[in-house]
């Protein structure tokens, strides 16, 4: 009999062709997808050439998404995108997304059905862990590993130990998935899950839609996690049905599987949360942060640029005006989200409030473009990182929050809760 295993261990064992694996074991896994973007793909492409193979291992299992500096902000970023574009054409890669059909990669690929339950996915981007929301093992790697994956369809892993986060109870007003994961990161620290798989479960997680689940898994890396994962249920199946392009496989943790640690969290005690500079773990309750005045608010990114996020923001902004000292930038994460938000009338709400609405891009999240901060400026953002200089000048500050807190802040001019606007 195989040893009791977690969902992560079962996925890795299956892809290594083994009956069982255990934490710390080195294994060689076959891959279901390799991902890269306009920052990391050019490096991977150069390394791919050095390997000396002529063709990628599978043209259907590589995704290239130019989302970080696109539409291109300068000549250098245009050259990066050009290299990616020409490689995609040369190799006949099916999952290449050009301007006009691309989106922020970690919102786009689930939406397009490119990833699914039971997959093993590597991406040359740290937030590849987002796809764990579908019951997949997904993790970020360096560009060299991505190049090897594109050439061979395989990669080496050290099997991570697993941490279980059991979140139970109903969330309070305006408390969201973003607040759950910020609460967890604040609790365990930015290295609290170092090279470990973060498994999320419990009644609170079960009640989340797919947008919320992706938000939680997206930020596993902010706790040092190798991956984040949520087991498949009816919500996952409804999302994948008719969307996911390949047959999927469901895996579930054994009841007697071993975990490095188990955390039980009462959701009723989670409040709207803000991460202060310069770490995602530097968390405080939003209600205790009202003295922080800001210059800019960004609602978007692979963490919180999905349709539900925009709906929440619009519900708060409707009939109100952005504070005269604040720049509000709203960035739908994909073209489909852009279209849906436009047809629902959300754009009218944003524009009437005085916001700028952007084409999908990662731009401001990494200090790339579309919202770079000047010296001494402060921003509240629904993004995932607030390190020194993350969104611009090294003396600028980034405060991470949910879309609800971000929208309220844009109106108040300082960190605020929606109820503060009544």
Q: How much is the pLDDT for 366?
A: 86
Describe the strand order of the beta sheet including 378-381 as a list of residue ranges: 283-285, 273-275, 397-400, 378-381, 296-299, 327-330, 356-357
Q: Whole-angstrom Cα distance, residue 64 to residue 162?
A: 30
Phi–psi pair at 233, nearest 5 degrees: -140, -165
Domain boundaries, the chain: 7-264, 272-421
Closest CA to 117 of 218, 6, 249, 13: 249
- Provide the pLDDT for residue 311: 97
Q: E strands within 118-184?
A: 120-123, 137-140, 154-158, 161-168
The pLDDT assigned to 401 comes to: 97
* Structure confidence at residue 102 (pLDDT): 86
Torsion angles phi and psi, residue 192, rounded to 5: -70, -15
What pTM, to 2 d.p., does this model score?
0.94
pLDDT number for residue 231: 97
* Mean pLDDT in order along the chain per 10 residues (422 residues): 91 96 96 95 94 93 93 92 95 92 93 96 95 97 94 96 97 96 96 95 97 97 96 97 93 96 96 96 95 96 96 97 97 96 97 96 87 95 92 94 97 95 82
Residue 178 pLDDT: 97
pLDDT at 388: 87
pLDDT of residue 363: 87
Helix (H, G, I), strand (E, B) or coil at 50: helix
Asked whether the domain spanning 272-421 has the same topology as the one spanning 7-264, the reply is: yes
* Fold (CATH) for 7-264: Aconitase; domain 3 (3.30.499)
| Helix ranges (DSSP H) in 104-227 | 105-111, 143-152, 177-188, 203-206, 210-218
What superfamily in CATH does domain 272-421 come from? Answer: Aconitase, domain 3 (3.30.499.10)
């Amino acid at each position: 009999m195989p040893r009791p295993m977690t969902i992560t261990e079962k996925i890795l064992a299956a892809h290594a062709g083994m009956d069982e694996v255990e934490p710390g074991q080195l294994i060689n896994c076959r891959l279901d997808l390799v991902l890269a973007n306009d920052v990391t793909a050019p490096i991977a492409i150069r390394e791919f050439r050095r390997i000396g193979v002529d063709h990628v291992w599978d043209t259907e299992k590589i995704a290239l998404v130019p989302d970080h500096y696109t539409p291109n902000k300068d000549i250098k970023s245009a050259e990066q995108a050009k290299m990616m574009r020409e490689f995609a054409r040369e190799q006949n890669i099916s999952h290449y997304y050009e301007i006009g059909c691309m989106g922020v990669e970690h919102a786009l690929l689930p939406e397009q059905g490119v990833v699914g339950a039971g997959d093993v996915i590597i991406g040359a981007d740290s937030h590849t862990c987002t796809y764990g929301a579908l019951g997949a093992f997904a993790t970020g790697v360096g560009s060299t590993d991505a190049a090897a994956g594109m050439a061979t369809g395989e990669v080496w892993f050290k099997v991570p130990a697993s941490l279980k986060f059991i979140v139970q109870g109903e969330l309070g007003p305006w408390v969201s998935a973003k607040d759950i994961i910020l609460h967890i990161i604040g609790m365990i620290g930015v290295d609290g899950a170092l090279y470990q798989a973060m498994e999320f479960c419990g009644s609170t997680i079960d009640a989340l839609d797919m947008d919320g689940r992706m938000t939680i898994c997206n930020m596993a890396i902010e706790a040092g996690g190798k991956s984040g994962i949520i087991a498949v249920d009816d919500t996952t199946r409804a999302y994948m049905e008719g969307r996911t392009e390949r047959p999927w496989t469901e895996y579930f943790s054994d009841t007697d599987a071993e975990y490095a640690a188990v955390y039980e969290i009462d959701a009723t005690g989670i409040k709207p949360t803000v991460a202060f500079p310069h770490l995602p773990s530097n968390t405080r309750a939003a209600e205790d942060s009202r003295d922080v005045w800001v210059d800019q608010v960004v609602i978007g990114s692979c963490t919180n640029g999905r349709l539900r996020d925009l709906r929440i923001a619009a519900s708060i902004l409707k009939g109100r005006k952005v504070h005269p000292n604040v720049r509000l930038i709203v960035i739908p994460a994909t073209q489909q989200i852009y279209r849906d938000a436009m047809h629902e009338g959300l754009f009218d709400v944003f524009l009437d409030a005085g916001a700028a609405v952007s084409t999908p891009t990662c731009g401001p999240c990494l200090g790339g473009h579309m919202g770079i901060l000047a010296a001494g400026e402060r921003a509240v953002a629904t993004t995932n990182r607030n390190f020194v200089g993350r969104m611009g000048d090294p003396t600028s500050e980034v405060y991470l929050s949910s879309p609800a807190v971000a929208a309220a802040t844009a109106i108040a001019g300082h960190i605020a809760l929606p109820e503060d606007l009544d």
